[in-house]
Structure 1
Amino acid sequence: MSEVKIKGKKALQASRKIINLTTEDKNEGLEFIADQLLKDQSSILAENKRDLQIGKENGLSEAILDRIMLNEKRIQDMSDAIQLLVELTDPVGEVIEEINKENGLKIINKRVPIGVIGMVYEARPNVTVDAATLSLKTGNAVILRGSSSAKYSNIALIQTIHKALKKSSIPADAVQLLEDTSRETAKELFQLNEYLDVLIPRGGENLIKTVSQEATVPVITTGAGVCHVYVDEFAEKNMAEQIVLNSKLQRPSVCNAAETILIDKQWYQNHGPQLLEKLVENGVEIFADETAQSGFSKAKPATVEDWSTEYLGLSVSVKTTDSIDEAIDHINRYGTLHSEAIITDNESHAEKFLNQVDAAAVYHNAATRFTDGFEFGYGAEIGISTQKLHARGPMGLKALTSNKYVIYGQGQIRE
């Protein structure tokens, strides 16, 4: 039997045990994990250093290396995030609806665990901890498949999680990591319908496209972020500069960073070159349309491919627009349904943008960087869903539950 099937079977068996645990049981296990991460910090960082060295030898970009990199602060942040997760309300068992029928039947619709979650992700080892702990809090088992670029970090983190769970009521088999990161193993996971209830890919556009096309297991699409900031004709100059710079620079390697800046042509004529100069001063490479480039010689010409590129680094595309309608059309054509922002003091323009742009999160006068489970008050997230079924936007605890109808009777039969 393959590694995928062996671990799938173990995860399924573990999921049937977790469902009987109380919130207190689950929280105790999570606290053990938070504590063990700090105790095992040295060994985790040593394995992470190994991944980073291999990554450098293989020519990985600085953006990817930043995603892989762990340090004492990031491990402390992971531990702190678990403590916050412990404090969040457990959604399992929550009554969504109660119906009392005239014939005496009581129908209760309540939240239940999904079962076994498959998680496929790239680079970031913190996702290993986030996915594991969110799954456990909601009574799910999880099978993790990280990328080869963070293989040793992920193995170290799973060892820590298993060490912690062995002190708790949660079966250690509830968290499984596929150590074989080959494409063949990944494809087997995509089609593990016998053991897997849902598959969540988290990473770049190519990963998400591959999973969506090859999986037979139901998929929740997440991740790719060709996010836009539209500077409207009625945008206040200082606010526009702050939001654009923050959306691009605060952490360029993440999915909610801005990749395209759309600028009204009148606003660009008055303020655009100064805005682009500030981006360049911060190390940003600019690919611009003909109008923007003619007013700013440091910009390189943009190609059609730039409008759909997720740079995940210090590059950005810039396009000028004749109207808000043109901006909306551009976003709906090239966006990835993630996070989009408009900067304007015109309320009707703002409402038009917020209503007509198709995305999981739309912003008025705020940076796209807020699309995040912590910022939305959900605690850690398992991903940003860019689809429209079941869950959309930051996926917190409730997004990792399904529902079940429980019907109480006293001998009723249907006539």
Structure 2
Amino acid sequence: MKLLNTDIKNKVLNSMISIIDGDREKILKANSKDCELFDKKDRAMYDRLVVNDKKIDGMINSVREIMEQEDPVGKTKSERNLENGLTIKNKTAPFGTIMIIYESRPDVTIEAAVLAFKANNKILLKGGKEAYHSNKALEACWHKALQENGLDTSWIQLLHMNRTETQEFLKNPPEKLDLIVPRGGEKLIAFVKEHAKCAVLVSGRGNNFLYVAKDADWEKSIKVILNAKTHKISACNALDKILIDSAVPDYEEKLKELDSILTEKGVSILVDEQTGSILSDESVIKDESIWHEEFLAMKCCIGTVQGLDEAIEKINKFSGGHSSTVMTNDPDKAIKFMEQVDSAAVYHNASTRFTDGGAMGVGAELAISTDKLHHRGPLGLEQLVTNKYYVFGDGQIRN
């Protein structure tokens, strides 16, 4: 796609703000069709599917935030003047065409597209069938905004394909794909990695851990655990696993208190053998594979560890590499945890729920990357560009 100047991109986004607001009733009506057809037993997926006025306001705000951010394309990262007279500049450049595959969340149709477009990328949106009507309504908003400003609607396209068609598309894309972002569970990620012919940036599972050290502030720990576990169970930054140090003062009483508080909030609890010897009413974990699972439900595991090193080892073995928290009053212990735990975001005395573009000050996000190349964590506007070298000479040749 050709390079657009910042002014025209911002005009499209400004149009989009008005169009979304003006088409609010159409969007809500389309979403109600999707919600009526959806099996509400899957609470996490249903929560992600629902669009209301607050979510539409959030979509508008996301577009406005990106419109106000600096254009990430064409920025000079470095410049060198060599002895041979060459001037070498390394500048940011668009990826080209990005494909994102996601489920349920219609707001991704706005957030992913606004980021890709402002970074001068074409984007192909493969949403889930459960959000078909919602996504169609939002795509229509994008096309209206592009056409109002004299641009082709191919900049932002919604794809409607079943699994077999998607597999064929990945194997033999009808156009060049530069980056694919699968935003979903491990099965989706494995499917895309198996069939894609271009770079895949993984927005991996959550399965986030929190470790309570022996010197932690217990009241603060309870507050953080409750927020991380119950605030929004459908989010990839929700808490699933809690590790309690066996050296916590009044260990048994505090375990029972935590169990009682979580149970009152409707959280079902699984425990390891040592914890189960105290919390005898809870189910004991028989298969350690449960420690790998992302729940997206009012469910958690509580385990007991003997110190910081064991906590770090367990987290690195089982977590999804997304977010991990240590509760401690010892800054040295916190730094050791944060340096040695292999997660995209590591926290000291704070909820994992902050692993989010908006909450981290990045703005709208394409996804939370758990990959290490080319970026880890929230994929915001600045992360949706690559780079290339501009080499200026005057007839130089290499001997």
Superposed, 1:171-182 pairs within 5 Å as 171-180=152-161, 182=162
Between 1:319-328 and 1:162-171, the stretch displaced more is 162-171
Residue 383 (1) aligns with residue 362 (2) = no
Aligned counterpart for 2:171 among listed residues 191, 202, 207: 191
Matches of 1:40 and 1:123, distance apart in 2: 20
Q: Paired residue for 1:271, among 254, 258, 263? A: 254
Corresponding residue number in structure 1 for 2:81: 100
Please state whether the residue corresponding to 1:254 is helix, strand or coil: coil
Query: Secondary structure of the residue that 2:64 maps to in structure 1?
Result: helix
Determine helix, strand or coil for the equivalent of 1:221: coil
- Given that residues 66 and 381 in structure 2 are in contact (C-alpha distance below 8 angstroms), is that contact kept between their aligned partners in structure 1? no
Preserved CA contact (<8 Å) 2:240 2:295: yes
The residue number in structure 2 matching 1:312 is 296
Distance 1:242 1:93 in 2: 45
Say which is worse superposed, 139-148 or 259-268, in terms of deviation: 259-268
Question: 1:48 and 1:39 mapped to 2: Cα distance?
Answer: 16
Supply the AA of the counterpart residue of 1:279.
Answer: L
Which residue matches 1:74? Answer: 55
Letter in 2 for 1:34: I
Matched, 1:43 2:26: yes
Which deviates more from structure 2 when the two are superposed, residues 185-194 or residues 262-271?
185-194
Contact residue 96 and residue 110 of structure 1 kept, 8 A:
yes
Cα deviation, residue 315, structure 1: 0.7
What displacement does 1:368 show? Answer: 0.7
- The one-letter code sitting in structure 2 at the alignment partner of 1:139 is N
Residue deviations 1:346-392 (CA, integer Å, cap 9, x gap): 22321221111111111111111111111222110000110111111
Deviation digits for residues 266-308 of structure 1 (CA, Å, limit 9, x no counterpart): 3232412112211111111111112223323442222423211
Q: How many residues align?
A: 395
Contact conserved, 1:287 with 1:318, CA < 8 A, in 2? yes
Query: What is the deviation of 1:24?
Result: 1.2
Contact 1:192-1:217 at 8 Å conserved across structures: no
User: What is the SS of the residue equivalent to 1:330?
Assistant: helix
In the alignment, structure 1 residue 345 sits paired with structure 2 residue 325: no
Give the structure 2 partner of residue 53 of structure 1: 36
Q: Specify the code of the residue in structure 2 equivalent to 1:352.
A: K
Q: Give the Cα–Cα distance (whole angstroms) in 1 for the partners of residues 222 and 212 of structure 2.
A: 9
Is residue 2:339 matched to residue 1:355? Answer: yes
For 2:172 and 2:242, the matched residues in 1 are separated by: 41
Farther-moved stretch of structure 1 (128-137 vs 47-56): 47-56
Deviation at 1:215, TM superposition (A): 1.9
The letter of the residue matching 1:300 is S
Distance 2:172 2:41 in 1: 31
Distance in 2 between residues matched to 1:368 and 1:99, nearest whole Å: 41
Partner residue, 1:294: 277
Q: Percent identity?
A: 40
Gaps of 5+ in 2: none
Q: Which amino acid aligns with 1:294?
A: S
The one-letter amino acid paired with 2:335 is E
SS in 2 for 1:166: helix
1:387-406 alignment runs, 5 A limit: 387-406=371-390
Task: List 4+ stretches of structure 1 deviating above 4 A.
Answer: none
CA contact (8 A) 1:121 1:203 kept: yes
RMSD, matched Cα: 1.4
In the alignment, is the contact (CA less than 8 A) between 2:89 and 2:391 conserved in 1? yes
Rounded to whole Å, the distance in 2 between the matches of 1:374 and 1:235 is: 28
Out of 226, 238, 251, the residue aligned to residue 219 of structure 2 is 238
Whichever residue aligns with residue 22 of structure 2, its letter is K
Question: TM-score, structure 1 length as denominator?
Answer: 0.92
Q: State yes or no: 1:157 paired with 2:138.
A: yes
Name the TM-score, length of structure 2 as normaliser. Answer: 0.96
Gaps of 5+ in 1: 1-15
Aligned to 1:111: 92
- Residue 133 of structure 1 is matched in structure 2 by 114
Q: Secondary structure at the match of 2:88?
A: strand
Matched, 1:332 2:316: yes
Question: Paired residue for 1:8?
Answer: none
SS at match of 1:410: coil
